[in-house]
Amino acid sequence: MTAKAAAPRLELKGISKRFPGVVANDQVSFAVPAGTIHALLGENGAGKSTLVKIIYGVQSADEGAIVFDGNLVQIGSPKEARALGIGMVFQHFSLFEAMTVLENIALGMDDPPPRRQLEARVREVLDSYGLSLDPHRYVHTLSVGERQRIEIVRALLQEPRLLIMDEPTSVLTPQEVEELFKTLWRLANEGCSILYISHKLHEIEVLCESATILRGGKVVGSCDPRRESAKSMAEMMIGGSLKDLSDKSDCSYGEDRFTVSGLSAPGEPPFGTSLKDVSFSVRSGEIFGIAGVAGNGQNELLAVISGETQAGVTGSIRLEGRELSQLSVGARRKAGLASSPEERNGHAAVPAMSLAENAILSARSRMGLASGGVIKGGAAKDYATRVIEAFSVKATGPAAAAGSLSGGNLQKFVMGREIMQNPAVFVVSQPTWGVDAGAASFIRQAMIDLVAKGASVVVVSQDLDELLELCDRLAVINEGRLSEAMDVKGIDIEKVGLLMGGVHGSEIDGAGAGRAADPSHAPAKRPEPAL
Amino acid sequence: MMLAAPVIAVALTLVVGAVLFTLLGHDGLGAILEIFVKPLFNPYRWQDLLVKAAPLAMIATGLAIGFRANVWNIGAEGQYILGGLAGTGIALATLDMSGGWILPLMLLAGIVGGMAWAAIPAVLKTTLGVNEILSSLMLNYVAIQLLYYLMRGPWKDPMGFNFPQTAMFTADQTLPMVVPGTLIHLGVPLAVAVALTAFFVMTRTITGFQMRVVGLAPKAAAFGGFGAASTVWIALMAGGGLAGFAGILEASGPFGQMVPQFPTGYGYTAIIVAFLGRLNPLGILLAAMVLALTYVGGESAQTTIGLPSAATGVFQAMMLFFLLATDILVRYRVVSGRAAPKTARAPGKAEAEAKSGAKTGETKVVTA
């Protein structure tokens, strides 16, 4: 390591950034040496996003200096950042849905080479990093995970010397995470520094060599994640002790409450995943998990269950024996079936509308927020306020626009809006995607409390750790087919990973020794660079 | 700023209009004064303004409900004609009768007529996915031909010296005046009432909520249980019904009969009114007055300073043009392209320079 340049790749000196009413960054200083993977930890709102935006030139700091490879630099735009060799993979993708993967990559480049040359380079990067992606697919047909790969390829094409990654693993399978980590280690060994933001502390323990912890815009500590536990890091982030999820082993299951059988539905044309004969049942007091890689029919399944998709659906959906499959979205909700889709902005919530109006969106019939077709403004405001308080949503009040909330806070609001209606069955996709540790454990606890009252919950998630922590049983969805349900106690992680990757039945039994359940099933340690 | 855009658009229309007509050899400033200022200071013209503004406001209110939900009904002109024709049909069937029930029946027929015409694009859209912009627009021309056919054929007044027009409506079939001695008929307060009702519907009811959610986030609307088909139907029924209502109010009010000159482009101008009023029923009332001014002022400018009748259309079109332009410019900023410094463009080269100690990155560009 000492052979590398003495000056750190990136050094921040007293960076401060103020927005009206809030100090996003307050005298932030730290350094990232060349070829290291450095974690930036902090809860939502701790100032991580602002800080990386400053480094990437999206925003400019009010005070402080950025030193890159020993040179004082002013980064006025992302273009200048890229010119310096700083690449970034954003948590929220900036992609044009009506264009192909290749066109999107070309658009993101300052100086795109001719199409054929670019395609060759893209394929080269895809191959060498083991990423699977068809450059000619249209973005609107891709899953979240695949979309993220575009962003990663975009960044890798620039051969960056500092790569900033914001929540990159939230949509990957354990095997894919392992692949990504290999890619990142390879990059680091080639001398590229990586600034890594993630809420998955188990991964940071394995991946990163150093970490800076932000709270309230200030640096409150630094650590070597390899010597810390996920819990100790989470507590440093929160600045208090983390509450363990209450044990739900003592709760008893009731009868089968929610039964889906033989459910088939065509995928969204032209490239959506069709559902093929999906069956499962959930007892009262039980959390049922559906694992799988993005784009394997999860969104379709959720839309069919909630009633948003009705055309071409066959099979039955029963809630306490009552057939729901012919009912409208509103009627299903009245029957006690609540749902929360993966995408918060524009699907579970209307960004331009206030929280009170967003409460009306899905709670109007069960919570009596309208009568005779006329909105009860006061009742809607009250309900939104109750959700804000009960779920500690950071918002100025029920009149705040949903779009003004951070991702984690909006998710808390959306989850609260559904859970506080006391549904008999709650079907939720990606309940904690992009949500910080504190909020995620809050949301998980809320679901556990809901089943403790006798409800049934179905969690669709790509985060296997989350499912293992939360669920009583889980099944894996792959290409629209759902596997047999498995008890989470003593589950074979290797088998789940293979099912997620599309290996079925007998092939798995032959695969032999599987790893036993381990919430921190982590990829292998970083190999030492050959010197 | 969203509210400033219409004001800026109107101001730009006045300035550019003055320059344009000066270049064309007219008295540009005089034209502006004649069209946009003089009617405001002539109390005799106020009633004209109200009478022109009423149908514009009513049609625009209906259109705005649909536009909020991204349902683009361009067929208000045809729905206006069909509303007029449906009410006229009742009038012609009841020429020999009398009673207070006739006028309400005519008005109801007008609403139903407009709705029926709008139901065609609604059915096409919900069952076959036909674009409502095209289907509703094309039906306007069908409606005009239907009008011409009826005027020259079955509905021609037998006592009308072969003029292509219907018989005059009777007193029971004509709108009463609300201000005696003026042209201000019942349609004027009705237009205000419709706008106020629409304001209530859009802000306080689940139906209005549905239209707004569909426009802002269609997937969230589906999640909330608002069906796409019901949205299309509500939008087109509101637009068609109110256009038809405006049609029969015009026929039974200012016209007092049905004539081939019945369609005067209100259905198209109302689109401008809807946008100028920010798709808000209260804003639409104001915007309708502005557009009514172009009609009233344009007419008087023809006689006083000999401006061509097309001038009205030119001003209306400019207003929409500038409104759309300012809406874009309020939301976006024009930035001149700034290329990255040549030395730093190729990463490899930058790296080489950085290694050799050249401060490539230092104080490059700092702009607000």
Shortest CA gap A344–chain B (Å): 9
Give the model's pLDDT for residue B352.
38
Q: Give A305's contacts in chain B (Cβ within 8 Å).
A: none
Do both A220 and A268 map to the same domain?
A: no
Last residue of a domain, one of A238, A271, A299: A238
Spatial separation of the C-alpha atoms in residues B298 and B167, rounded to whole Å: 30
Do both A91 and A224 map to the same domain?
A: yes
Site of tokens 């004539």: B259
Do both A342 and A453 map to the same domain?
A: yes
Chains A and B form CB pairs within 8 A to the count of: 114
Spatial separation of the C-alpha atoms in residues A383 and A362, rounded to whole Å: 12
* Residue A435 half-sphere exposure toward CB, CA atoms < 13 A: 26
Q: Does the structure's ipTM exceed the value 0.85?
A: no
Least confident of A366-380, B104-118, B298-312: B298-312
Do both A218 and A332 map to the same domain?
A: no
On the question of pLDDT at A175 being above 60, the answer is yes
Q: Which residue has the higher pLDDT, B360 or B234?
A: B234
Q: Give A71's contacts in chain B (Cβ within 8 Å).
A: 354, 359-362
Spatial separation of the C-alpha atoms in residues B348 and A106, rounded to whole Å: 19
Give the model's pLDDT for residue A182.
83
On the question of pLDDT at B319 being above 50, the answer is yes
Give the model's pLDDT for residue A459.
96
On the question of pLDDT at A249 being above 70, the answer is no
- Two tokens at A166? 């914001």
CB contacts under 8 A, A 318-337 vs B, are 328-330, 333
Instruction: Report helix, strand or coil for A339.
Output: strand
Do both A275 and A215 map to the same domain?
A: no
Asked whether B112 and B244 are in contact (CB, 8 A), the reply is: yes
Spatial separation of the C-alpha atoms in residues B350 and B340, rounded to whole Å: 12
Spatial separation of the C-alpha atoms in residues A290 and A304, rounded to whole Å: 15
Q: Give A156's contacts in chain B (Cβ within 8 Å).
A: none
Contact flag A84-B366 (C-beta cutoff 8 Å): no
Strands annotated E in A218-274: 218-223, 256-265
Give the model's pLDDT for residue B365.
33
Instruction: Report helix, strand or coil for B39.
Output: helix
Spatial separation of the C-alpha atoms in residues B81 and B72, rounded to whole Å: 19
Closest CA to A489 of A509, A519, A510, A512: A519
Q: Give A161's contacts in chain B (Cβ within 8 Å).
A: 351
Contact flag B220-A374 (C-beta cutoff 8 Å): no
Partner-chain residue, chosen from A71, A76, A349, that has the shortest CB–CB distance to B220 = A349
Q: Which residue has the higher pLDDT, A236 or A246?
A: A236
Amino acid at A124: E
- What are the tens digits of pLDDT across the range A477-520? 988 999 999 998 888 877 887 787 666 544 444 443 344 444 44
- What are the tens digits of pLDDT across the range B226-258? 999 999 999 999 999 999 999 999 999 999 999
Overall average pLDDT of the A258-277 stretch: 85
Do both A142 and A17 map to the same domain?
A: yes
Give the model's pLDDT for residue B328.
85
CB contacts under 8 A, B 177-206 vs A, are 204-206
Spatial separation of the C-alpha atoms in residues B331 and A82, rounded to whole Å: 27
Number of domains chain A is built from: 2
Contact flag A361-B207 (C-beta cutoff 8 Å): no
Domain that holds residue A35: 10-238
First to last CA, chain A: 9
Spatial separation of the C-alpha atoms in residues A150 and A139, rounded to whole Å: 9
Residue A520 lies in a domain: no
Q: What CATH number should be reported for the domain holding residue A218?
A: 3.40.50.300
The CA angle A511-A514-A519, to the nearest 5 degrees, is 145
Contact flag B340-A330 (C-beta cutoff 8 Å): no
Least confident of A332-346, B211-225, B353-367: B353-367
Partner-chain residue, chosen from A82, A343, A374, that has the shortest CB–CB distance to B204 = A374
Residue A517 lies in a domain: no
Asked whether B151 and B163 are in contact (CB, 8 A), the reply is: no
DSSP of B319-331, one letter per residue? HHHHHHHHHHHHH
- DSSP 8-state assignment for residue B185: B
- What are the tens digits of pLDDT across the range B56-71? 999 999 999 999 999 9
Spatial separation of the C-alpha atoms in residues A214 and A47, rounded to whole Å: 7
First to last CA, chain B: 21
The CA angle A395-A398-A403, to the nearest 5 degrees, is 60
Spatial separation of the C-alpha atoms in residues A123 and A110, rounded to whole Å: 19
On the 0-12 / 13-18 / 19+ scale of CB atoms within 10 A, B23 is: exposed
Burial annotation A416-432 (CB, 10 A radius, 16+ → b, else e):
bbbbbbebbbbbbbbbb
* Residue B253 half-sphere exposure toward CB, CA atoms < 13 A: 25
Shortest CA gap A254–chain B (Å): 29
Which helix or strand (DSSP H or E) is residue A372 part of? none
Amino acid at B121: P
User: Does the beta carbon of B344 lie under 8 angstroms from any beta carbon of chain A?
Assistant: yes
Overall average pLDDT of the A56-76 stretch: 90
Partner-chain residue, chosen from A71, A339, A374, that has the shortest CB–CB distance to B362 = A71
- Two tokens at B111? 């609403």
Neighbours of B310 (CB within 10 A): 10
Q: Give B345's contacts in chain A (Cβ within 8 Å).
A: 83, 110-111
Percentage of residues of chain A with pLDDT beyond 70: 87
Do both A28 and A161 map to the same domain?
A: yes
Residue A219 lies in a domain: yes
Q: Give B367's contacts in chain A (Cβ within 8 Å).
A: 76
Contacts of A468 (CB under 8 A, 6+ apart): A474, A488, A491, A517, A519
The CA angle B178-B183-B187, to the nearest 5 degrees, is 55
Do both A285 and A217 map to the same domain?
A: no
Give the model's pLDDT for residue B63.
97
Spatial separation of the C-alpha atoms in residues A307 and A425, rounded to whole Å: 14
- What are the tens digits of pLDDT across the range A301-338? 999 999 999 888 999 999 998 999 999 999 999 999 99
Do both A334 and A230 map to the same domain?
A: no
Least confident of A75-84, A501-510, B34-43, B79-88: A501-510
For chain B, what is the mean pLDDT? Answer: 88
Do both A224 and A353 map to the same domain?
A: no
Substitution target in A71, A376, A428 with the highest count of B β-carbons within 10 Å is A71
Contact flag A361-B340 (C-beta cutoff 8 Å): no
pLDDT classification of A247: cutoffs 50, 70, 90: low
On the question of pLDDT at B354 being above 50, the answer is no
Overall average pLDDT of the A50-78 stretch: 90
By CA distance, what is B347's nearest residue in A?
Answer: A83
Residue A247 lies in a domain: no
Least confident of A227-241, A254-268, A435-449: A227-241
Q: Where are the alpha helices (DSSP H) in A420-463?
A: 437-452
Spatial separation of the C-alpha atoms in residues A404 and B182, rounded to whole Å: 52
Q: Which CATH number fits domain B4-361: 2.40.128, 1.10.3470, 2.60.40, 2.40.50?
A: 1.10.3470
The CA angle B95-B99-B102, to the nearest 5 degrees, is 60
Q: Which residue has the higher pLDDT, B209 or A186?
A: B209
Asked whether A387 and A416 are in contact (CB, 8 A), the reply is: yes
Do both A130 and A228 map to the same domain?
A: yes
φ/ψ of residue A315, rounded to 5: 110, 180
User: Does the beta carbon of A161 lie under 8 angstroms from any beta carbon of chain B?
Assistant: yes
Site of tokens 């060498």: A128
By CA distance, what is B367's nearest residue in A?
Answer: A76
Give the model's pLDDT for residue A260.
94
Contact flag A353-B213 (C-beta cutoff 8 Å): yes
Shortest CA gap B106–chain A (Å): 29
Instruction: Report helix, strand or coil for A218.
Output: strand
Least confident of A19-23, A180-184, B103-107, B323-327: A19-23
Partner-chain residue, chosen from B204, B216, B364, that has the shortest CB–CB distance to A80 = B364
Spatial separation of the C-alpha atoms in residues B207 and A67, rounded to whole Å: 57
Do both A52 and A183 map to the same domain?
A: yes
On the 0-12 / 13-18 / 19+ scale of CB atoms within 10 A, B332 is: exposed
Spatial separation of the C-alpha atoms in residues B307 and B297, rounded to whole Å: 11
User: Alpha carbon of B352 to those of A75, A186, A410, A503, A528: distances in Å?
Assistant: 19, 22, 46, 48, 27
Asked whether B74 and B271 are in contact (CB, 8 A), the reply is: yes
Q: Which residue has the higher pLDDT, A456 or A496?
A: A456
Q: Which residue has the higher pLDDT, A441 or A379?
A: A379
